[in-house]
Amino acid sequence: MNVLMLAAQEVRAGLRNRWVVATTLLLAALALSLVLLGSAPTGIVKADPLAVVVVSLASLTIFLVPLIALLLSFDAIVGEQERGTLMLLLSYPVARWQVIVGKALGQACILGFATLLGYGVAAGALALKVDIGTPAWAAFAAMVLTSAMLGAAFISMGVLASTVVRERATAAGIAVGIWLLFVLLYDTALLGILVADQGRHVTQGALNAVLLLNPADVYRIFNMTASDSVSTYAGLAGPGNAAPLPPAVLFAVLAAWVVAPLVLAVVAFKRKSV
């Protein structure tokens, strides 16, 4: 019950701060742009328009959703501490783990709602224009679900960063570093290693393991390979090929990326003096 109350408080704070509205409008506007522009040539090449949109939205999500998630969560704990409200919160009959989980859950609900509504509006607009096959709808639903999970994973990392520092500026710097590492630098470095290696030492198993260490890569591979209707149009979406990994494994790893940083945040918060 305490977790749900704290989560509801985070959602109310997001509504007051216009986070929900701003995030939903941003995702909807970008998704609609991709629908209106990206699906235009599909009638010529006989491609499934929604499958093409899924590929485009998945690529957009990798860059945008982690950034929004980190902006939501980087001051979850340290912000309360600087405002002097954290000690007051802990004076109530609420466990420290409930504070962490409640705040992360509330922020994940904000981002999940914005993702569902924003992407759903775009898919609805596309459905009014053309007929869409059932496999493409299944791929779109999986993309929306895993997009929310990707956001939750970065929210967990943002909460962890907010827990281990004592200043908002430091937490903000760590959040920017997390985004740069997982979204930009990781794949660039991996691609450089693969080019330099030329297949001599990096085996497929090693490559799969390395890709699983990045939630953005797990998300990308899942959405580009889980559905035949999407993988046809995905092409080369990033470094390496982890197609041998089944979708269930990729989904489980993405879920682990949601849980693991949150567990570390709980451990760190229990040891934190306020």
pLDDT at 241 over 90: no
Q: At what angle do helices 247-270 and 134-164 cross, to 10 degrees?
A: 20
User: For residues 58 and 69, what is the distance between their CA atoms, to the nearest angstrom?
Assistant: 16
Q: 178-230 pLDDT, tens per residue?
A: 999 999 999 899 888 888 877 677 777 888 888 899 999 999 989 888 666 56
Determine the pLDDT at residue 44. Answer: 46
Q: How many domains does the chain have?
A: 1
Alpha helices per DSSP H over the chain: 2-16, 19-38, 42-45, 49-73, 78-83, 86-90, 96-129, 134-164, 168-179, 186-197, 204-212, 215-225, 228-234, 247-270
DSSP at 227: -
- What proportion of the chain, given as a percentage, has pLDDT over 90? 42
Query: Any idea what the Cα angle at residue 222 is, between residues 103 and 47, rounded to 5°?
Result: 120
Determine the pLDDT at residue 35. Answer: 76
pLDDT at 39 over 60: no
Determine the pLDDT at residue 271. Answer: 87
The parent domain of residue 227 ranges over 2-270
Determine the pLDDT at residue 45. Answer: 45
User: For residues 241 and 41, what is the distance between their CA atoms, to the nearest angstrom?
Assistant: 27
User: For residues 187 and 191, what is the distance between their CA atoms, to the nearest angstrom?
Assistant: 6
Neighbour count for residue 261 (Cβ, 10 Å): 24
Q: 68-92 pLDDT, tens per residue?
A: 999 999 999 999 898 888 888 888 8
User: For residues 135 and 81, what is the distance between their CA atoms, to the nearest angstrom?
Assistant: 48
Determine the pLDDT at residue 255. Answer: 96
Identity of residue 72: L
Identity of residue 259: V
Determine the pLDDT at residue 140. Answer: 86
